[in-house]
Structure 1
Amino acid sequence: MLAAERRDHLLGLLASEGKVVAKDVAVDLGISEDSVRRDLRELAAEGLCQRVYGGALPVSPAVVDYAARQAMAPDGKRKVAAVAAGLVRPDCALILDGGTTALAVAQAIPPDLACTVITHSPTVAAALLDHPRAELFLLGGRVFKHSAVTCGAAAVEAAQNVSADLCLLGVTGVHHEAGLTTGDADEAAMKRVLSARAAETYVLASSEKLGTASRFRVLPWGEVTGVITDAGHGHPVVAQVAALGVEVLSAARS
Structure 2
Amino acid sequence: MSDYDAFPEQRQTLIQKILEESGRVVGADVARQLGVSEHTIRRDLQELARRGICKKVYGGAVSQFKQSASFDIRISQNIQEKSGVAQYCADLIRPGTCIFIDAGSTYLSMAGFIPPQMELTVVTNSPQIAAALSGRTQGELILLGGKVYPQTGSVLGTGPINQVRDMLFDQVFIGVCGLDPEAGLTAVYYEDACFKKEVLSQANEVVAAVIADKMPQIARYKVAPCEAIDIVVVSSLTNTESFSRTDVQLRVAE
Deviation at 1:181, TM superposition (A): 1.6
Match of 1:143 in 2: 148
Does the 8 Å CA contact 2:189/2:220 hold for their aligned counterparts?
yes
Which amino acid in 1 is paired with 2:249?
Answer: E
User: Mapping of 1:129-168 within 5 angstroms?
Assistant: 129-168=134-173
Question: Gapped runs of 5+ residues in structure 1?
Answer: none
Does the 8 Å CA contact 1:37/1:55 hold for their aligned counterparts?
no
Residues matched between the structures, number: 245
How far does the alpha carbon of each residue in 1:19-46 deviate from its partner, in whole angstroms, 9 at most, with x for none? 2457867956996956742441221xxx
Match of 1:172 in 2: 177
Measured in 1, the distance between the counterparts of 2:144 and 2:41 equals 50
Match of 1:251 in 2: 253
How far does the alpha carbon of each residue in 1:165-214 deviate from its partner, in whole angstroms, 9 at most, with x for none? 11011102222222122211221121111122121001111223222222
Establish whether residue 42 from structure 1 lines up as the match of residue 51 from structure 2: yes
Q: 1:76 to 1:61 in 2, by over 3 A?
A: farther
User: Mapping of 1:51-200 within 5 angstroms?
Assistant: 51-53=56-58, 55-61=60-66, 63-200=68-205
Does the 8 Å CA contact 1:128/1:134 hold for their aligned counterparts?
no
Q: 1:39 to 1:109 in 2, by over 3 A?
A: same
Q: 1:71 to 1:37 in 2, by over 3 A?
A: same
Percent identity over the alignment is 27
Greater mean deviation of Cα atoms: 17-26 or 189-198: 17-26
Question: Gapped runs of 5+ residues in structure 2?
Answer: 1-5
SS where residue 199 of structure 1 aligns?
Answer: coil
Deviation at 1:242, TM superposition (A): 5.6
Does the 8 Å CA contact 1:40/1:55 hold for their aligned counterparts?
no
TM-score by length of 1: 0.83
TM-score by length of 2: 0.83
Does the 8 Å CA contact 2:26/2:60 hold for their aligned counterparts?
yes
Does the 8 Å CA contact 1:50/1:214 hold for their aligned counterparts?
no
Deviation at 1:54, TM superposition (A): 5.7
Measured in 2, the distance between the counterparts of 1:65 and 1:244 equals 32
Does the 8 Å CA contact 2:62/2:218 hold for their aligned counterparts?
yes
Does the 8 Å CA contact 2:22/2:239 hold for their aligned counterparts?
no
Q: 1:142 to 1:84 in 2, by over 3 A?
A: same
SS where residue 179 of structure 2 aligns?
Answer: strand
Q: 1:163 to 1:209 in 2, by over 3 A?
A: same
Measured in 1, the distance between the counterparts of 2:72 and 2:54 equals 22
Q: 1:76 to 1:157 in 2, by over 3 A?
A: same
SS where residue 155 of structure 1 aligns?
Answer: helix
What is the RMSD of the two structures over their aligned residues, measured on CA atoms? 2.9
Measured in 1, the distance between the counterparts of 2:221 and 2:148 equals 19
Measured in 2, the distance between the counterparts of 1:157 and 1:236 equals 37
Does the 8 Å CA contact 1:227/1:249 hold for their aligned counterparts?
yes
Q: 1:4 to 1:140 in 2, by over 3 A?
A: farther
Measured in 1, the distance between the counterparts of 2:8 and 2:76 equals 35
SS where residue 112 of structure 1 aligns?
Answer: coil
How far does the alpha carbon of each residue in 1:39-88 deviate from its partner, in whole angstroms, 9 at most, with x for none? 41221xxxx43443565312454622212322222111111111111122
SS where residue 91 of structure 1 aligns?
Answer: coil
